[in-house]
Amino acid sequence: MSKQDSHHVVHNPGGGWDVKRGGANRSSGHFDLKQDAVDAGRQISRNQGTEFLIHGKDGKIQSKDSHGNDPFPPRG
């Protein structure tokens, strides 16, 4: 999986939160509240079938979801 196959919620040093595609310099969206960025990022990730990673203010990954690229899909 390449970096472009992911979307990230990251803290913006100027304040607020950004949704960024992996490897991109520009954000897909900027939000004042982290939850708003998470909601928007999750929707973008679902639409594009990418991995979705949520980072804390320290930059560490807090959680992640896979939308379409799960290497081990559950048996149904």
Distance CA 46, CA 7 (A): 10
Query: How much is the pLDDT for 67?
Result: 75
Say if residue 2's pLDDT is above 70: no
Count how many Cα atoms sit within 13 Å of the Cα of residue 21 in the half-sphere of its side chain.
Answer: 13
Condensed to tens digits (0 to 9), the pLDDT of residues 5-43 reads: 999 999 999 999 999 999 999 999 999 999 999 999 999
The structure's pTM equals 0.84
Which letter, b or e, does each residue of 43-61 get, where b requires 16 or more Cβ atoms within 10 Å of its Cβ?
ebbeeeebbbbbbeeeeee
